[in-house]
């Protein structure tokens, strides 16, 4: 079944994912005693090749990419794996991934950027004031030392470096299911698919907005974070499914939406958006959470 | 056919060196398709079928990417993000040449499953379009994205693995042409 490219197996491994169809045929055979790291730059001596640099969201313009990937001018890096990690036990893998999920969830449960440090008031979660507050912090940090990057890395690294889509998937499914419980029999499928589509489209729109504002966050990362921050809204949907009284819903849901927003902002807010546009970047996020909160409210 | 007469690499799970991994992997692959195809015979609840299929697809994606790939064929891939710039960085790993013995049966099962699954889903997408069941299209699209991603990533891992394998073996034997030829023939028939 792997036959299509079988006869070109000697091609050097600089084949990128996106132009994967037929363009890798023209690759050279590298010298047999070549080390992996001593391959030539494949792009240079091949003017006749139809190979082109990969385009799309995995841009090759990264200055900070590792030596290998920038030398190959490609989107990825190939490397041999040490046997001890490639042969690790299944339980090790599962445990590691579960703990990664848990650590991401913890960042959402306890948005430290807002609740820790100097900003203690939940009522600060209004966009303008938040933007101002952030600027204050950034100014403070740059005055103290060159800590802007520290500030960013501080609350981004663990949650952002390795993303997964379990959170978005599970919470999106839970939200759609819980919201469709209370709807009428005939409308159940429509409600489910509507909420499901709305969540994913909303995540996409918010991410595109952040990217366009100059945020240094990849698409998948942003979807991952927004997905995990849906957790408070899942609680809201659960309360709706349990037929909470509508008067009690208003304060509770406002707090839950605020919680989601605080978590989303505290993780996404430092993603390198041009400083005085943080409010602009956060606004669609707030609309997104508020919309879902309203859906929970009326269901 | 008697087990002793089966050629190495034939499609029998008894010849596998990781039978549990292999069976779980095939189970996940097949079960998502089965639930999608035949789930409606048992229940009228479209939402339920949708959820179960998506969860099975996600489990299959995860299992293939993180467990089956490295145990069956010694390949692995993932995506890293540079936290300071937000650039994604794909990493494709293959086990170092000569250190991991890859069972021919495992490898054959693996590659057949990995390339057949997207084809099935493409066929199901065509069926869904022409039978005007557009409500299933999002599900099929998700399935296609998940399976095609894995297929592309693993085939790239495999290219690198073969390239370094050939480099290594040719260096050892000192006969580049011979090793390429034998490798090509061997691989052609072993899959």
Indicate the pLDDT class of residue A174, thresholds 50, 70 and 90: very high
Q: What is the pLDDT of residues B119-151, one digit of tens each?
A: 999 999 999 899 888 888 888 998 999 999 999
Query: Considering chain B, what is the average pLDDT of its residues?
Result: 79
Q: Is residue B128 part of a domain?
A: yes
Task: Give the count of domains, chain B.
Answer: 1
Q: Is residue B113 part of a domain?
A: yes
Query: Which residue of B47, B72, B76, B155 to mutate against A (max A Cβ within 10 Å)?
Result: B47
Q: Which of residues 184-223 of A touch B (CB under 8 A)?
A: 188-189, 192-193, 196-197, 215-218, 220-221
Q: Is residue B69 part of a domain?
A: yes
* Domain interval for residue B137: 9-190
CA distance B155 to B157: 5
Q: Is residue B87 part of a domain?
A: yes
How far away is chain B from the Cα of A176, in angstroms, using its nearest Cα?
10
Q: Is residue B103 part of a domain?
A: yes
Q: What is the pLDDT of residues A258-299, one digit of tens each?
A: 988 888 877 776 566 666 677 777 888 899 999 999 988 887
pLDDT at A36 over 50: no
Q: Is residue B148 part of a domain?
A: yes
Q: Is residue B42 part of a domain?
A: yes
Residues of chain A in contact with residue B166, where contact means CB-CB under 8 angstroms, are 9-10, 32
Q: Is residue B153 part of a domain?
A: yes
pTM score, whole prediction: 0.69
């Amino acid at each position: 079944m792997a036959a299509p490219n079988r006869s070109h197996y000697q091609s050097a491994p600089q084949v990128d994912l996106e132009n994967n169809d037929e363009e890798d045929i023209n690759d050279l055979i590298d010298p047999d005693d070549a080390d992996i790291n001593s391959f030539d730059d494949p792009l240079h001596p091949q003017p006749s090749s139809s190979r082109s640099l990969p385009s799309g969201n995995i841009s090759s313009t990264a200055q900070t990419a590792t030596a290998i990937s920038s030398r190959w001018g490609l989107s990825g890096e190939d490397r041999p794996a040490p046997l001890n990690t490639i042969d690790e036990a299944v339980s090790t893998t599962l445990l590691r991934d579960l703990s990664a999920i848990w650590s991401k969830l913890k960042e959402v449960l306890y948005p430290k950027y807002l609740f820790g440090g100097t900003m203690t008031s939940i009522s600060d979660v209004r966009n303008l004031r938040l933007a101002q507050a952030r600027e204050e912090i950034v100014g403070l940090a740059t005055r103290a030392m060159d800590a802007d990057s520290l500030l960013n890395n501080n609350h981004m690294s663990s949650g952002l470096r390795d993303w997964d889509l379990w959170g978005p998937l599970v919470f999106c499914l839970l939200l759609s299911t819980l919201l469709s419980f209370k709807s009428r029999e005939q409308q159940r499928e429509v409600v489910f698919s509507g909420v499901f589509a709305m969540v994913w489209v909303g995540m996409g729109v918010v991410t595109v907005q952040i990217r366009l504002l100059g945020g240094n966050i990849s698409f998948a990362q942003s979807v991952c974070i927004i997905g995990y921050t849906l957790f408070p809204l899942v609680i809201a949907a659960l309360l709706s499914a349990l037929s909470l009284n509508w008067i009690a819903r208003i304060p509770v849901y406002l707090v839950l939406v605020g919680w989601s927003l605080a978590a989303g902002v505290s993780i996404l807010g430092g993603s390198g958006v041009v400083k005085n546009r943080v409010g602009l970047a956060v606004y669609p996020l707030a609309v997104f959470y508020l919309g879902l909160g309203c859906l929970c409210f009326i269901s | 056919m008697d087990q002793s007469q089966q050629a190495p690499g034939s499609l029998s799970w008894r010849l596998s060196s990781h039978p549990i991994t292999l069976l779980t992997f095939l189970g996940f692959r097949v079960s998502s398709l089965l639930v999608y195809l035949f789930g409606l015979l048992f229940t009228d609840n479209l939402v339920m079928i949708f959820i179960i299929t998506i969860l099975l697809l996600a489990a299959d994606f995860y299992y293939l990417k993180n467990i089956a790939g490295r145990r069956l064929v010694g390949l692995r891939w993932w995506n890293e993000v540079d936290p300071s710039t937000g650039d994604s960085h794909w990493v494709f790993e293959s086990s170092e040449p000569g250190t991991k013995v890859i069972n021919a049966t495992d490898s054959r099962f693996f590659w057949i499953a990995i390339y057949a699954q997207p084809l099935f889903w493409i066929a199901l997408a065509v069926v869904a379009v022409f039978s005007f069941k557009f409500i299933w299209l999002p599900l099929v699209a998700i399935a296609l994205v998940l399976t095609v991603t894995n297929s592309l990533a693993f085939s790239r891992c495999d290219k690198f693995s073969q390239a370094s394998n050939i480099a290594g073996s040719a260096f050892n034997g000192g006969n580049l042409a011979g090793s390429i030829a034998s490798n090509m023939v061997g691989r052609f028939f072993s899959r």
